[in-house]
Amino acid sequence: MAQRKRMAYNVSRDILDEETLDEIAEKADSNPSLCDKLKKSLRSSGPKAKKRLLGTLPIISWLPRYPFKENALGDLISGISVGIMQLPQGMAYALLASVPPVFGLYSSFYPVLIYFLFGTSKHISIGTYAVMSVMIGSVTERLAPESDFMTFDNMSNSSIVDLVSRDAARVRVAAAVTCLSGLFQVLLGLLQLGFLVTYLSEPLVRGYTTGAAIHVIVSQLKYTFGINPKRHNGPMSLIYTVLEVCYLVPKTNIGTLVVSIVAIICLILTKELNAYLSKKIPVPIPVELLGIVIATVISWQVNLNEQFGVDVVGKIPTGLQAPVVPDFSLFGQVIGDAFALAFVGYGIAISLGRIFALKYGYNVDSNQEFIALGLSNSIGGFFQCFAISCSMSRTMVQESTGGKTQVGPLLLRGL
């Protein structure tokens, strides 16, 4: 077998040290002309600007490619379902925030518009949320307590509360803390601190949500029994409130208690019925909306307010209010509360958003979510909204009724 001839190669290279490399680099990077610099800048800045714009306004990326035939019906049905839920929830959560009910409707409208433009989650339902409302309520009642608006009435020889002045002051406080919390969220998003959500463990979020739910239940006891307990703040405030309610139980308004019990029973039974019929009907029975309509008709016909002393919401203004600059002088008094609101609201929204993003195979930008929620709150503060986040119950309904994007909820919120 013939042997292969081996071929020899001789490679000769110059030995380069660091000094020589620097000299070569300087020659290669000789001063370019102004025209060359401009061309290079334009070539590199174009794609960067486009990428930054798409990252800041995600709607530019997905809305032109919206699959109308595939998603329109599901988004419409989910929008109707969520809109029906949001109407009574918005007014109820406004009471938790200690502001008039109409401001719950404002908080269900303006922030949704902002999130539609800047948000990256397709499924979460942005709007009023019980946990955030309770936190806002603690701030409004602390800085605008009822005792500051007590006046003596010579006709009845007793003290009465100036409700108009009290509500106006509490709305100012709510708008200020909401605007500041939104500014915190925008700042954290610009600083690329979305990774901080990884430190919010599931037990922490669940524990906080459970604790907030207990606060919500206790805060509703005064409306259930038709009593007016004192407001307690600080450690053990929850225990003191429960003891105060127990002390005032003999003064319960029977009419209010009957209405509360009937409403609770109807809500529980209908929730169970919806769970049973979930596979048979595409839209759940809107018991919250039906309850409001039926209760309004009964209250009007029977005159529950005058006959039985049942508190009613009263007249709700129509239309939208003009923007009002928040009271910046309150920022120093609510800075701690605003920071807590910023983190709690973001933590709930991003946690739920990531669950659905993983389920449906898309990405949620944690930093952009910070900015989207922050703009929703900071701009909402100018329209006298209170802090918003993602509602778990509405999000589940939006997803289960076929919602694929934020288009449906946006249209129905407008209606």
Query: For residue 272, is it within any domain?
Result: no
User: What's this model's pTM, rounded to 2 decimal places?
Assistant: 0.77
- The answer as to whether 344 is a domain residue is yes
Is residue 275 a part of any domain in this protein?
Answer: no
Cβ contact 193:108 at 8 Å: no
Domain assignment present for 235: no
- pLDDT of res. 181: 96
**CA 214 – CA 273 distance, rounded (Å):** 25
Task: Provide the pLDDT for residue 413.
Answer: 64
Residue 73 tokens, joined: 């019906």
Residue 114 resides in a domain = yes
- Assess if residue 282 is contained within a domain: no
The answer to whether 388 and 125 are in contact (CB under 8 A) is no
Q: Is residue 313 part of a domain?
A: no
Structural domain tally of the chain? Answer: 1
Neighbours of 285 (CB within 10 A): 14
| Residue numbers of the domain that contains 179 | 68-151+160-211+323-414
- 94 lies in some domain: yes
User: Taking the chain (415 residues) in consecutive chunks of 10 residues, what is each chunk's mean pLDDT?
Assistant: 61 68 59 60 58 73 83 82 83 89 91 91 89 90 86 70 88 96 94 77 73 80 86 79 90 90 89 80 74 85 85 76 90 94 89 86 89 95 92 82 78 64
Q: SS in 3 state form for the chain? A: CCCCCCCCCCCCCCCCCHHHHHHHHHHHCCCCCHHHHHHHHHHHHHHHHHHHHHHHCCHHHHCCCCCHHHHHHHHHHHHHHHHHHHHHHHHHHHHHCCCCCHHHHHHCCHHHHHHHHHCCCCCCCEECCHHHHHHHHHHHHHHCCHHHHEEEECCCCEEEECHHHHHHHHHHHHHHHHHHHHHHHHHHHHCCCHHHHHHCCHHHHHHHHHHHHHHHHHHHHHHHHCCCCCCCCCCCHHHHHHHHHHHHHHHCCHHHHHHHHHHHHHHHHHHHHHHHHCCCCCCCCCHHHHHHHHHHHHHHHHCHHHHHCCCCCCCCCCCCCCCCCCCHHHHHHHHHHHHHHHHHHHHHHHHHHHHHHHHHCCCCCHHHHHHHHHHHHHHHHHCCCCCCEECHHHHHHHHHCCCCCCHHHHHHHHC
CB count within 10 Å of CB 287 equals: 21
